[in-house]
């Protein structure tokens, strides 16, 4: 049992916890992925371990399995649903000479209709792995769509977080869909919507010279304060005086705080809908200055000057796992020559620290990320470090030249998408390595030590554990 919910033995589940500091004891340790709090705070019990303490850091512990009880804590279960096989014709072409995909069972690139809550069944949206909310629509966006339908919003709507285009199916709405996620952009393109890739703060006037009078935004509170503040400033800049902003988000991810921020800039506004933790507020813009965008963060590490734009993973300091991997690779290559002249792919580059580190060691680097702010960050990191390389906005390897292959692939794969926790993207990173590694080439992957990547990696070759430290592991595979 977790709380009041029985867990049938032998079933695979993903457990998502909305509060930090949640402690879960669960017999299917390998199958459990616990989300929405930092991996370093993750804790779980072995089935054979002694019962959990009755109190953990002053928080009462649920007796049966050790789930801490906190106010507002929310625990959701998601069955792990492998999706059907994707026709080979729809996958990125395998470069000549590459092996078959390691794990084609999850049909990562398939775009399909999103599951909608019954109250929205006359609407539609597309989705795919890697889009927020997949395989459902994002809960905040669903509430937003319900409110806008009730308000009978018509005409041009600028959606700054369009995901799979749900708002475009509202009757009488012409959607201007903006997204930074390459996965979402491919869902929008498949739906034939008018989509534009942009990051918070970018002017959209060149794309749409007249401003829409209605703007919609789902706050990504899970991406941190700076990103949410940048989203609010962007929404303000995009809304003409007298225009309306519909803003949705999760109470547990700072919605009230960000709406207060928006309220200061916009003037009149109020929360108009609640559903569980989800909220929608409606604000009318008064004339007045747009709040400033937060400054980029950054740091120096491993000989690289890193620029971290708002919302980019580990923008202010090196991620612990990444630092462990780079430290381990430096120890394996004390004279720093192993990457010289090699073609290196940094898959899921974030700020670009890993790719820039490889470029400093003489590699020709390609940095890929599905998140546009991350791609911009990686470009800025290369420039600030006086290095060159290609930074590509791509859902896994989909936007790379089909013939591109590499000597070395380095990755710290994601296991969160928005509020949810999923391994599909990480598994597709490994599948991409099977498409992109040259014979004799090596993949180095760093992950939390409980994440079950070894079986997928074995399709490439023998898996070596280059490092296991502080709850992380660096796995290395050389392709035969
Ligand atoms: C754990 S972070 C690692 C970032 C960076 N390499 C580092 O070590 O600091 C994972 C990265 O994968 C990116 N990512 C998530 N989904 C992706 C996808 N579908 N395609 C490409 N990159 C993706 C995220 O945007 C994020 O930057």
Could you tell me the CA-to-CA distances from 181 to 18, 38, 68, 132, 394 in Å, in that order? Answer: 23, 22, 34, 9, 9
Ligand 1 atom at shortest distance from the alpha carbon of 183? 19
**200 Cα: distance to centroid of ligand 1 (angstroms):** 18
Q: What angle do CA 87, 82, 146 make, to 5 degrees?
A: 100
CB of 313 within 6 A of ligand 1: the answer is yes
Mutation probe of ligand 1 site: the residue of 222, 347, 370 with most atoms within 8 A of C-beta: 370
Residues 6+ apart with CB under 8 A from 291: 229, 232, 233, 236, 261, 264, 265
User: Residue 250 is inside which H or E element, if any?
Assistant: strand 244-250
Ligand 1 site, residue 212, Cβ cutoff 6 A: no
Asked if pLDDT for residue 70 goes beyond 70, the answer is: no
Q: How confident is the model at residue 221, as a pLDDT? A: 92
pLDDT band of 420, cuts 50, 70, 90: low
CA of 349 to the centre of ligand 1 (A): 6
Residue 417: band (very low, low, confident or very high) from pLDDT cuts 50, 70, 90: low
Residue among 110, 301, 323, 371 whose CB has most ligand 1 atoms within 8 A, to mutate = 371
Phi (first) and psi of residue 59, to 5 degrees? -105, 130
Q: Cβ of 125: how many Cβ atoms within 10 Å?
A: 29
**Predicted confidence band of residue 91 (pLDDT cuts 50, 70, 90):** very low
Give the tens place of pLDDT for each residue, 115-128: 999 999 899 999 99
To the nearest whole number, what is the mean pLDDT of the chain? 82
What pLDDT does residue 84 have? 32
pLDDT 10s digits, 260-293: 999 999 987 899 999 999 999 999 999 999 999 9
- Cα of 435 to ligand 1 centre, how many Å? 18
Q: What is the pLDDT of residues 224-248, one digit of tens each?
A: 999 999 999 999 999 999 999 999 9
Residues forming beta bridges with residue 478, ordered by sequence position: 442
Ligand 1 centroid, distance to 372 Cα (angstroms)? 11
Q: What are 29-54's pLDDT values in tens digits? A: 323 333 333 332 223 323 333 333 33
Crossing angle between the packed helical segments 255-266 and 225-238, to the nearest 10 degrees? 30
Share of the chain above pLDDT 70, in %: 77
Which residue's C-alpha comes closest to atom 4 of ligand 1?
350
> What does the pLDDT look like over 293-336, one tens digit per residue?
999 999 999 999 999 999 999 999 999 999 999 999 999 999 99
Ligand 1 touching residue 214 (CB < 6 A): no
25-29, 274-278, 356-360: least confidently modelled range: 25-29
Could you give all domains of the chain from N- to C-terminal order, each with its CATH number?
13-79 (no CATH), 112-284 (3.40.50.150), 297-478 (3.40.50.150)
Using pLDDT thresholds of 50, 70 and 90, give the confidence band for residue 73.
Answer: very low
pLDDT of 341 above 80: yes
**Mean pLDDT (whole number) for 421-437:** 92
What local confidence, expressed as pLDDT, does residue 269 receive?
Answer: 87
pLDDT at 307: 98
Could you tell me the two tokens for 60?
């009462």
Please work out whether the CB of residue 348 comes within 6 Å of at least one atom of ligand 1: yes
Share of the chain above pLDDT 90, in %: 74
Could you tell me which residue, 90 or 255, shows the higher pLDDT?
255
Contacts 24+ apart (CB under 8 A), 42-45: 42/448, 42/450, 42/471, 44/450
Residue 418 has pLDDT above 70, yes or no: no
pLDDT tens for each residue of 169-195:
999 999 999 999 999 999 999 999 989
In the predicted model, what is the mean pLDDT of residues 402-421? 85
220 DSSP β-pair partners: none
Are the C-beta atoms of residues 391 and 307 closer than 8 Å to each other?
no
Does any ligand 1 atom lie closer than 6 A to the CB of residue 134? no
Residue 432's nearest CA partner among 128, 131, 94 is: 94
Structure tokens at 253: 């991810």
The pLDDT score that the predictor gives to residue 226 is 96
pLDDT of residue 292: 96
Q: Cα torsion at 246, 142, 373, 357 (round to 10°)?
A: 150
Please tell me if the CB atom of residue 371 comes closer than 6 angstroms to any atom of ligand 1.
yes
Residue 122, number of CB atoms within 10 A of its CB: 10
Phi first, then psi, for residue 222 (nearest 5°) are -70, -10
């Amino acid at each position: 049992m977790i709380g009041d919910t029985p867990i049938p033995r032998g079933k695979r589940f993903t457990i998502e916890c909305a509060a930090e500091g949640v402690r879960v004891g669960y017999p299917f340790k390998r199958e459990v992925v616990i989300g929405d709090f930092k991996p370093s705070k993750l804790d779980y019990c072995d089935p054979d371990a002694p019962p959990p303490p009755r109190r953990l850091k002053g928080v009462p512990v649920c007796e049966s399995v050790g789930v801490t009880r906190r106010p507002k804590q929310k625990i959701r279960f998601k069955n792990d649903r492998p999706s059907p096989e994707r026709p080979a014709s729809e996958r990125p072409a395998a470069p000549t000479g590459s092996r078959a995909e390691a794990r084609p069972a999850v049909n990562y690139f398939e775009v399909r209709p999103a599951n909608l809550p019954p109250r929205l069944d006359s609407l539609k949206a597309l989705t795919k792995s890697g889009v927020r909310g997949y395989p459902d629509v994002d809960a905040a966006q669903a509430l937003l769509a319900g409110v806008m339908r009730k308000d009978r919003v018509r005409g041009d709507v600028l959606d700054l977080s369009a995901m799979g285009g749900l708002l475009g199916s509202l009757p009488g709405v012409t959607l201007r869909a903006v997204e930074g996620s390459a996965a979402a952009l491919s869902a929008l393109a498949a739906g034939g919507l008018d989509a534009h890739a942009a990051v918070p703060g970018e002017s959209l006037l060149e794309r749409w010279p007249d401003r829409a009078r209605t703007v919609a935004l789902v706050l990504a509170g899970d991406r941190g304060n700076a990103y949410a503040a940048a989203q609010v400033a962007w929404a303000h800049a995009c809304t003409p005086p007298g225009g309306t902003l519909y803003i949705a988000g999760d109470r547990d991810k700072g919605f009230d705080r960000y709406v207060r921020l928006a309220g200061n800039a916009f003037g009149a506004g109020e929360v108009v809908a609640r559903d569980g933790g989800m909220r929608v507020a409606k604000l009318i813009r008064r004339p007045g200055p747009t709040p400033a965008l937060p400054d980029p963060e950054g740091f120096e590490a491993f000989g690289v000057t890193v620029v971290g734009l708002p919302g980019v993973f580990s923008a202010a300091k090196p991620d612990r796992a990444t630092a462990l991997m780079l430290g381990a690779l430096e120890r394996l290559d004390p004279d720093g020559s192993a990457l010289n002249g090699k073609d290196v792919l940094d898959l899921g580059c974030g700020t670009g620290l890993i790719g820039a580190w490889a470029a400093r060691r003489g590699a020709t680097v390609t940095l890929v990320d599905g998140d546009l702010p991350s791609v911009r960050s990686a470009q800025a990191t290369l420039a600030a470090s006086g290095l060159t390389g290609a930074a590509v906005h791509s859902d896994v390897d989909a936007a790379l030249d089909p013939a591109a292959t590499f000597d070395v692939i380095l990755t710290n794969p994601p296991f969160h998408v928005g509020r949810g926790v999923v391994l599909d993207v990480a598994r597709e990173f490994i599948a991409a390595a099977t498409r992109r590694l040259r014979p004799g080439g090596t993949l180095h992957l760093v992950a939390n030590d409980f994440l079950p990547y070894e079986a997928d990696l074995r399709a490439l070759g023998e898996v070596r554990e280059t490092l296991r430290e502080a709850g992380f592991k660096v796995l290395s595979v050389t392709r035969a």
